[in-house]
Every structure is written in C-alpha cells, then in structure tokens.
Structure 1
Amino acid sequence: MAIGLSREQAPPRAAEYEPVRRRRRPVLIAVIVVLAVLLAAFVGWIGIRALLARQQLEAAQPSASAVVAAIRSGDVTAARSAAGELSKHAAQAASLTGDPIWRLGEGIPLVGPNLAAVRVVASATDSVAREVVAPLVSVSGQVDPRSLKPAGGRIDLAPLVAARPVVTKAQAAFHAAAGSAAGVSTASLIQPVGDAVSRLNGLFGQASPSIDAIGNSTRLLPGMLGQAGVRNILVVAQNPAELRATGGLIGSVALIRADHGAVTLEAQQAGTSIGPWPSEVSDIPDATIGIYGPLVGRFLQDANYTPDFPLAATTIAAMWEKAHGGTVDAVITMDPVVLSALLKATGPVALPSGDTITSANAVPLLLSEVYARYPASSQQDAFFSSAAAAIFGKLAAGHVDGEKLLSAFSSAGSSDRLRIWSAHADEQDVLASTTLAGALPVSTPQTAALGVYLNDATGSKMDYYLHASVSAGAEVCRFDFRPTSLVRVTLTNHAPANAGTSLPTYVTGGGTYGVPPGEILTRVVVYGPAGGLLAGTRLGSDPVRVVSGTDRARPVAVVSVQLKPGESKTVTVQFVNARQLSPGLTVATTPLPPGAGVTPDVGARTTITSIAHVCDSLVK
C-alpha cells in the first residue's frame, strides 16, 4: 500500500511563489525609498537648521559686545539698539533648535547629545538676551555708576530702589541660564560643539561677578545707606605693615552715619585708643581662643588674628559699642592698597600736612614714610586721621569718577582687600554669597578648600619688607584613595642688611617683644579642608613643632618663622582630605604684601603656584 500526499496536499512548486514575490518586491522597495526620503529630509532639516542656528549665534556675539561697550560708555540709546539685535539673533537660534523634530533627533545615539548641547546653548543665550540683558539695559540709567556718586554729601537712593525688582529678577535668570549650560557634559560631544559649550561657560564665568555686583548692590546699598532709617557703619583701616589674618593691624576706626543716603563722618579713633578689656567682649569660640590666644576678644588690634571675618567683625562691633555705646550696623575693612585705587577715582587729595596723597604714593606714604617722619605714635595717628578725613570729604562732596569708584570697590573685593559684615540678617545672607564676606574656606566633595594666613609677632611695622609666596598641590597617594594636600609658604625678609640701626625703632620694634631689631617674626596659619586631618609640618627640611587645633571642623597648623634681613624660609604643611575622592584644590590667603615697598594692583589676587609630585614630597 502506498503512503504519501495527494497532489492537492503536496507543497506548491517553486514556480508558484514567483507571482507573490514579484508583488512584494515593489512594496519593499517603495518602503525603503520612503524611509530614505524621510531620513534624508530629517537629516537635511536638522543640518540646515543647525547651520542657521550657528549663524545666528555667531551674529549675536558682536551684539553682546556692543551692549557691554555701550553700557560702559553710558550710551543708553546704543545699548538698547544692541540689546535688540542680540535678542533677535538669540531668539531665532532658540527657535531653530527647539522644534519637535530637533528634539526627536536628540534621542539618536552619538548625534543626540550634540543636538541637545546646541539647543541648550541657544536656549541659554536667548534667556540671557530676553531676561537679563534687555531688562538691565532698561534700567541702566538708574544703576549707572556715574549716577551713584554723592552729590552734596548725599546719594540718591530712589533709582536703586526702583530698579531693584528688575535687577533681582535678571540676576536670578542669569544664574538659571548659567546653571543649564554648566549641566552639559562635554565628554561625548564633537569638538566644535564642545568648544561652543566651553566658550559659553567661560562667558558666564566672566559675566557673573558683574551681574552679581549690580544685583547685590541694589539689594544692599539702599538699606545700608539708611533708606529705612539711620545706619552706623564702622570703617576699619587695616595696616599690612603689621600683618593680621584678614589683612593687617587695625590702625584706625571711623564711624560713618548714613541717613536716607546722606553720609557723614561722625568720629575717628586710633585703634590703640579702644580697649583693652580684662575679658572677652563677645562670645569667642573656645577653638579660636585655643589657636590664637585670649587676647583675640580683648584687644582691638588682635580681633582679626582669626581669618573668620564675620567673627572678627562682630568682635570689633562689640568693642566699639562697649567703648562708646550705641549700635553698630555694619563693619567695613580696607587697606592702603584699596585707598590707592579710590584715589584713582578722586584724583590727588591735598592733606593738612602739606602732602598730596595720590594713587601712586599712598602705599609707601602710609606704610613707611610716615613712620620715618613722625617718631611719636600720636603724630602718626594724627596724620592718618587727617588723611582719612580729607579723602572722605572729597568722596562725600561728589568729586569722584563714579565708574572708577565702582571698579575700585569691585577689584578690592575680588582680591580680598575689602570685607563687609552686616548686623542685619537679610543683608548678611546676601553678603555671604559674595567675595566680600570673608568666611572660612568651604570645601566640596570634589575640592579641598585650604587657607594660608599671616599674623605678625614682631610687634612692629616690619611686614612692609616681608615677601610671601604660596604653592600648593593635591594628589591621590594613599591606598584608601583619599587625596593628600600639600602647602608650601615661603617668606623672605627684604629689609636692608642694616635695618636694625637704619630703620626707626617704631618700625623695627626695638626688640620690645624679644625679636632683634631688623628681624621679622611671623606666625604662618594654615587651614586644612573641613573634616580633614593634619598629617605633618616642617620648616625647611626639618620637622617642626606647631600650635595645632580645629576651627569649625578644619584642622589648623600655626608655625612661627623668624627671619633676619635677606633670609628666606619655607613652611610645608600636609593634610589628608578625608571627605574628598578627587584632588581638586583651592587656596585662600591673607592679601600678601609685595615686600619691596611697591603698590600692588588692587585687583590682583595672590598667585598660588602648583606643586607637582605631591606623593614624592610627603612629610614623614
């Protein structure tokens, strides 16, 4: 019996498939063609719009520069015209990169991150043009630095008050745009796009201080200048010829009264005439006393041994109130370097002594020549008081270039030579985010923040001849991957070889505190990162004993260095960065003296040079 399939049940022969295959092939080809067309259209759409967006962003750059130039020159009409051009180009770039097709392309591997980055750059530029530049240009006449100078002893606060809502909103919009650009990772971007993102972040970084200066000024100045009632402000002159951690010995204190923009000089006193007291005048942390001694809360001249400026300022305010009564609303500190910058705004000022003080001679005159000319401290104090009163009088009368005045204050703050503290919590909150606050360095999980501060122990004015340089580095040296930080501070005594006999006794100290005339004794204070550990110190190549402690979770080492004329020594301090896993590093310093009797640029920050091969230089 035969077993098998019938003809009807058997599979069809190959020839029977041909009609089906022929019918399917055109359909498949059509699908491929359609997809190819769509893909070409998609790529073309994205490519053309990317090219146009790039052109618009490039066209926006000259407009942005024109806005800045027009504002600086005071040409409001030109600023508005340039701002309009900037907004037009930025808006078109944002529109070209914000459609659904572009967003769809951002999901494509490799290509997508680049499209997203271009969109963020365009959007951030558009936001800045619409929400920052245009509003600030609209109120530029109200916050123009030329209009902020005193007239007849009074600053008109009304324009600042009126502009404050607009400026505050623009400041917030700027930081939002900067934050969006900073959030773009450049790791997977092609070079042109990555360069564009880096360039934009760089521009944000450059503009940020100016934006914050304008925004914070409108938030701070009206209140601090007495818009809502009288304010008492202490202006403290620091003398870097005798160093303290915040800049210098407190040589004099002036009480300024501000009432609805009217500013008057109420009183002046030499620092030596205030106090001392038998016990601390305010709450000084035990850790601070442990590191700097009990005098920090009893002597005005020692209140700024600590680099924690808010603590030093509250102590200074408490000392003034204890000596004179009343209430201190703010404390401002500055030094003769800041004064030299202010004199660029006022021009030369004639003094009762017959001298003319200028930006060129202010530092040598106030830090050196006065001591050679007047041997008695009372004569020196009288000279300083008369100079301060003459300069204040010229400022209050409005004989000043407003733009140069603002530039001087801005540069002084960025170089740590100007500090401001307010007794009013809302104002202090604003100050805390600025370079003016002077708080202890703040570390992050990625970056260890260190500090290097100098306190004179000679008891004289020899720091006019002290030169200091700082270098630092960090590297992962340990098996637990905690980074090691290393700081080197090199001090040099540039006084003449015969300084002990050729310089006045008031300058050398005359050996009163045990330091031979002509020599300089300095206490080098080095702060490690919060939560870190002090691993070791040395002076030159030898281990050295130190005063150590902890200040607000920061390890502190204090090393005493004594130098003969012409001598140089180096202090090395090592820390373990217990809270960091990467070797990021920042270093804050006392504004360091030039050591050669020259006037440093008020805006120049202390240069921190880099130490390589930290692991090869460990303190054993």
Structure 2
Amino acid sequence: MATSLTDRDAPPRPPAAAPTSARRLPQLRHPVLVWVLIAVGVILLFTIVWVSVRGFLAQQSLNAAVPAADRVKAAIGSGDLGAAGRAATELRHKTGEAAALTSDPVWVTVEAVPFIGPNLTAVRTAAAASDTVASRVIEPLVAAGSAIDLRALAIRDGRMNLEPIIKAQPAVAKAQTAYTAARASVASIDTGSLLSPVADGIQRLHTVLDRATPEVDALGNAVKLLPAMLGAEGPRNYLLAAQNPAELRSTGGLIGAVALVHAEKGAVTLTQQEAGTSIGPWTSDVADVPLNTRGLYGPLVGRFLQDANLTPDFPLAAATAAKMWTTTHGGTVDGVVAMDPVVLSGLLRATGPVNLETGDKLTSQNAVKLLLSDVYRRYEKPEQQDQFFASAASAVFTRLSAGGVDGKKLLSALVGAGDSRRVLIWSAAGDEQKVLATTTLAGGLPSSDLSTAGIGVYYNDATGSKMDYYLGTSVAAGAAVCRADGKPSTVVNVTLTNHAPADAGSSLPRYVTGGGTYGVTPGNIRTRVAVYGPNEGFLAATQSDGGNYPTVAGVDGGRPVSLFTVELAPGESRTVSVQFLNAAQTTPKLTVVTTPTLPGDGTTPDVGARNGVKAIGVRCSSVVK
C-alpha cells in the first residue's frame, strides 16, 4: 500500500524563485536614480548659491554706486570737474560690476524658471540700465563738462562762445539717447508679479530716473538748440515780448512792450524797442486764426498785438505777433520769446541790482512791485509807463551783455522760469520747434495720452485794467472711474479771490481800476476763465454754489472747453467746478497746466515756483454720469 508524506513530514522545499526582472531591476536602477537625484540636487544647490551670491554682490555694488552718484552731482554743482570725473569713473565701475554679475549664462537660464525668473529679469534689467546711465550718460557728460559748464554759458562782452557747445553736441546727443533707452527699459518692467524687495527697488530706480529726466532733456535740448538759435549758422532776429501779469492773458499777461533782438555768432544785441500799442490794430486778421479760436476769444486775437495771446496756444500767439511785427516794420522774425517781470527778478539775482535812468535801483526784491504796481501810482500817462518799462528792460539787457554775470545763477533763473511757464519760446524753424514742443518752453495746448488726461486752466482779464496784481488764483483737480464703461470723470475746481483793499475803487489810480470803462465797478476784478479738458473728451457740467454756472461751451484743438466769467468785489471769492468725461483715457491720471499768475497779495513769487494744483478726491455721487 502506498503511503504519502504529509506536508509536515515532507522535507522542506526550496523557496520559489522570484522572476528575474522583478528582483534585479531595483538593484540595477537604484544607484543610477540616486546619482541622478544627487547630481540634480548639486546643480540646483550650486545654481541657488551662484545666483544668490551674485545677486548679493550685485546689490552691494549698486548700493556702493549711490554715494558715487551723489559725489558726481555735488562735484558738478560746485564746478569741480576733476572730482566729478573721478566719481563718475567709480560709479561706472560699480554699476558695471552689478551688470556683469547679473548677466552670466546661469543667471539668464534661471530667468526661465516660473515665479523666481521674472524677479531675476527685473534685477538684470535694472542693473543694465544703471550701468548704461553711468557709462554712457554720466561719464561722457562729465568728460564734456568743460564744454557745457554752466558758468561758460554766460555772455561776455556781448557774445557767448558757441564753439565748445558745438563740439559737445555729438557726445550730449548720444548721452540723451542712451538715457532715454535706459529709462524706457526700467519703465517696461512689470512690478505686479515681483517680490516686494525687488519691486520696491525697481520703483525707486524708476523714480530717480523720472526726476532726473527734465535735467537731462534740458541739457540735451540746450546744447542742440543754442548754437543755431544764437546765430552760429546765420543771423537770427527774435521778437522779445514782455507780458504783464497785472492784466492777465492766457499765456501770462498782456503784451505791453516788444523788442527786436539780433543774434549772430553768439553776439546778442537789442536793436529796436516798441510799446505794444504802437503796433496795429488792424480791421481784419493779420494772421490765420482757427475758427474755433475766434469763436472762443473773439476777433481781437488776430488784430491786436496785446491780445494775440488771449489764446493759450502760444505757438499760434507767437506766430501771430511775429506777423504783426513784420507787417509793421518789415524784415523777418525767426522766433518769439515771451517773459514777465518775475523772470526779470530772477535774472537780477544773477546780475545784481541795476540803476535806472530815473534814479531807481532795480533789484530782485522790488522788480515785480515796482514794474507792476508802483509805476502806475507814479505815472498817469501810458507813454511814461512804457518809457519806464523800456528803461528797465534796456538796463538789465545791458548788464547781461556786459559780462561778469554768474552763469550758474543765470541758467538757474532761466530753467526755473521755463519750468513755471514764465518763459515761452517759439521758433519759425520747423526742426527747432519740434524739439521745443517737447518742453515746457513751447506753451502748447495741454496734451493727453491713453493713460493721462491733460487739463489746462487759463485766465484772461476782462476788467480792462491792471487789477490782476490783486487777483489770487487756486486750482484743484481730481478724477475717478464712476461709469460702467470704465471711462474716468474729471473734476476741476477753480477759485478766484479779489485781494484788493476795500477802498480800491477810490484809493487806486483810475488806470489800475479801469474806472468803469468796460462796465466793471472800480475796485472789482472781472476774469474770463477757460478750462480745457482732455483730447477727445466731453464737457459734462460747469457749476458753482451747488447749481449750474453760465458758461460758453466750445472746442479748441480737439479739446472741450468751458469758458466762463467771474466778477469779484474786493474781499470776495468764488469757486467754479468744471466736469469732463475722459472718453479716450483708461485711468484717472491727470496733468494740469495753468496760466502763471501773481500771488495777489503784493509779494514776489520765486521765479521757479509753479501755480500749485491741489489734488482732490472725486465722489462718484457728485459727478454727472
């Protein structure tokens, strides 16, 4: 009988062999995977350390560049070009180090990594822009410093030496182009997705470049324009228009006197002076005046020299004034320069006091009061007043031409006057006018773009007198998006105040009060105010004291205009609010320009002080939708 062994009695069986592939793969792949992971980790660690260390070193270099930049600015300001050159070289080395540290292949490769990449790109762009400014802007300008030294711009023996400026033109032009490119590269950085420290640093650099832009452009434009405009390529004739802000016009004041200035090879001479009343008037327009301009300001713009600048469009006013001069005297006018006694007070800081034929001493402290107030108490006849004005202008011009004037103070006064729109320049040469059009010197109508609305507030005297010496002006503006279509609404508040003494009607000369000639009570001030809205915008409302205010609605150069009149007795004040719809803009950003006025209290404004524009918050419940 056959028997069988139970599992318990049977000899042990050998364990079943596992499939070869299942057992061997881990043994073969595990070391490879580990080494791959180790290699990746090492590379990643190396990359992190590499980028971090180089980023830290770049930050250190940029931090060290700040005091070098400060030393460059201080040295230029003091006229120590040697120190400026040494500081500029140090600045270039520091920014060059930062640019090199942030532009190697590893850094650029890591820029492709999400989240961290945009931050590295931003840092590299900022470092490169800083290096561009240091190596291609500051250092070349400092090297050309002896040619464009502020003190070298002074007129000596009636002539300005133009050769150094001409030689510096290529270097300055390249520097201006490089600066514009560097500023644009920083402006193109989207800071919305960046880490806060990086975004803050980019914003600080952006702010620094923005603040320096006017100075860079002013230098570049001056070096580009001055030689030709001062007769380096042939003689030029300019009409110098003296604006009187005691009787306001949109660009600054009634044109009370004019003079013809001849420029040739840097030599500037005053060849002829005239009272504004001696030119014209005409029974028809001397120059072409757009129909819309005539509709807003009347026919006087093209017929009376004193009223050519009722329009705030200075290129139009200047071309009209030039045509009036040549129609009267013949010859050619290559450009027009307008300025007021506030500019004269600034020039007197550079020249020092000048003595007048009348025995008066004209100083920076008394020029405005003497020329815009005291003269009317002293002389009753306009011819006597005109003679006094001509004497003052001639004395200052003679002093400037004699030389020995502090060039730095002179240029500072002129730059400040340009910034505050108290000096305006128009050139009959098209290429020069294109350059001027980009500056505050052009005095064109306010311009807008897709993000920012350009607003203008302009004043014209309607009293027919010199009462605007006592007129106080104030402008406040703001914008908000209050509509479903996202179009912003702009609100502009204009406040006028009559600061004349209570008894102005009897205590001030008739020539100052107007004596009621134009239907204005003596002592009162009547002003026509034109508020310009943004290009392609719409006038929504003009209000005062909670109700609608009488206005003439018009359009000028594609801009909506609210033109209204305010009359004030001594001590009175009124605020008029104008609302626009910004049809072409996508953000509530604003820029506002105004007619330069006097404080109204007898004080002299600083030559560079602009009429302040206050920012206001706009409540959507208060705007017309």
TM-score range, shorter-chain basis?
over 0.9
Q: Deviations over 1:429-454 (max 9, x none)?
A: 11011111111111111111111100
Q: How does 1:222-261 map to 2 (within 5 A)?
A: 222-261=227-266
Q: Partner residue of 1:297?
A: 302
User: Does 1:96 find its partner at 2:101?
Assistant: yes
CA distance in 2, matches of 1:241, 1:72: 36
Between 1:573-582 and 1:491-500, the stretch displaced more is: 573-582
Equivalent in 25, 33, 36 of residue 31 of structure 1: 36
- Under a length normalisation based on structure 1, what TM-score does the superposition of the two structures give? 0.97
User: Does 1:62 find its partner at 2:103?
Assistant: no
User: Does 1:131 find its partner at 2:162?
Assistant: no
Q: Deviations over 1:556-582 (max 9, x none)?
A: 111000000000011111111111222
Q: Partner residue of 1:5?
A: none
| Structure 1 residue identity aligned to 2:523 | G
Q: Judging changes above 3 Å, is the alpha-carbon distance between structure 1 residues 33 and 225 closer, same or farther for their aligned structure 2 residues? A: same
User: Does 1:444 find its partner at 2:449?
Assistant: yes
Q: How does 1:566-605 map to 2 (within 5 A)?
A: 566-605=571-610
Aligned-pair CA distance for 1:478: 2.1
| 8 A Cα contact 2:551 2:563, kept in partner | yes
User: Does 1:284 find its partner at 2:292?
Assistant: no
CA distance in 2, matches of 1:14, 1:307: 95
| 8 A Cα contact 2:165 2:223, kept in partner | yes
| 8 A Cα contact 1:349 1:356, kept in partner | yes
Q: How does 1:135-154 map to 2 (within 5 A)?
A: 135-154=140-159
Q: Deviations over 1:486-525 (max 9, x none)?
A: 1110100000000000001110000011101000000010
- Under a length normalisation based on structure 2, what TM-score does the superposition of the two structures give? 0.96
- Root-mean-square deviation over aligned CA pairs: 1.3
CA distance in 1, matches of 2:590, 2:212: 23
Find the structure with the greater CA-based Rg: 2
Q: Partner residue of 1:7?
A: none
Partner of 1:471, secondary structure, is strand
Equivalent in 524, 529, 540 of residue 535 of structure 1: 540
Equivalent in 287, 299, 324 of residue 329 of structure 2: 324
User: Does 1:181 find its partner at 2:186?
Assistant: yes
Q: Partner residue of 2:318?
A: 313
Partner of 1:303, secondary structure, is helix
CA distance in 1, matches of 2:534, 2:200: 33
Q: Deviations over 1:50-71 (max 9, x none)?
A: 0010011111111111111111
| Structure 2 residue identity aligned to 1:469 | S
CA distance in 1, matches of 2:382, 2:41: 90
CA distance in 1, matches of 2:485, 2:68: 52
Q: Partner residue of 2:121?
A: 116
Q: Partner residue of 2:399?
A: 394
Aligned-pair CA distance for 1:75: 1.3
Gap regions ≥5 residues in structure 2? 1-15
Aligned-pair CA distance for 1:137: 1.0
Between 1:497-506 and 1:16-25, the stretch displaced more is: 16-25
Q: Deviations over 1:292-342 (max 9, x none)?
A: 000110001110010001001100101111111000001011111111111
| 8 A Cα contact 1:484 1:614, kept in partner | no
| Structure 1 residue identity aligned to 2:358 | S
Q: Partner residue of 2:468?
A: 463
Q: Partner residue of 1:508?
A: 513
Aligned-pair CA distance for 1:545: 2.3
Aligned-pair CA distance for 1:376: 1.2
Q: Partner residue of 2:8?
A: none
Q: Judging changes above 3 Å, is the alpha-carbon distance between structure 1 residues 554 and 428 closer, same or farther for their aligned structure 2 residues? A: same
Q: How does 1:486-501 map to 2 (within 5 A)?
A: 486-501=491-506
Q: Partner residue of 2:356?
A: 351
Gap regions ≥5 residues in structure 1? 1-10
Q: How does 1:470-481 map to 2 (within 5 A)?
A: 470-481=475-486
Sequence identity (%): 57
Aligned-pair CA distance for 1:544: 2.3
Between 1:606-615 and 1:202-211, the stretch displaced more is: 606-615
User: Does 1:44 find its partner at 2:49?
Assistant: yes
CA distance in 2, matches of 1:199, 1:611: 25
Q: Deviations over 1:378-413 (max 9, x none)?
A: 111111000000000000111311001111111111
Equivalent in 427, 436, 443 of residue 431 of structure 1: 436
| 8 A Cα contact 2:549 2:576, kept in partner | no
Q: Judging changes above 3 Å, is the alpha-carbon distance between structure 1 residues 18 and 619 closer, same or farther for their aligned structure 2 residues? A: closer
Q: Deviations over 1:452-487 (max 9, x none)?
A: 100000000000100011111111122332211111
User: Does 1:607 find its partner at 2:608?
Assistant: no
CA distance in 1, matches of 2:622, 2:302: 38
Partner of 1:574, secondary structure, is strand
Q: Deviations over 1:348-372 (max 9, x none)?
A: 1111111111111111111111111
| 8 A Cα contact 1:527 1:554, kept in partner | yes
CA distance in 2, matches of 1:207, 1:456: 37
Equivalent in 22, 25, 50 of residue 27 of structure 2: 22
| Structure 2 residue identity aligned to 1:564 | A
Q: Partner residue of 2:10?
A: none
Q: Partner residue of 1:373?
A: 378
| Structure 1 residue identity aligned to 2:130 | T
Q: Partner residue of 1:4?
A: none
| 8 A Cα contact 2:491 2:618, kept in partner | no
Aligned-pair CA distance for 1:606: 1.9
Partner of 1:440, secondary structure, is coil
Q: Deviations over 1:221-254 (max 9, x none)?
A: 1111111111001111111001100011111111
Aligned-pair CA distance for 1:541: 2.4
| Structure 1 residue identity aligned to 2:173 | T
Q: Partner residue of 1:196?
A: 201
Aligned-pair CA distance for 1:14: 6.0
CA distance in 2, matches of 1:478, 1:42: 50
Aligned-pair CA distance for 1:15: 7.8
Between 1:602-611 and 1:155-164, the stretch displaced more is: 602-611
| 8 A Cα contact 1:454 1:525, kept in partner | yes
CA distance in 2, matches of 1:42, 1:96: 14
Partner of 2:286, secondary structure, is coil
CA distance in 2, matches of 1:335, 1:407: 16
CA distance in 1, matches of 2:615, 2:36: 62
Q: Partner residue of 1:413?
A: 418
Q: Partner residue of 1:404?
A: 409
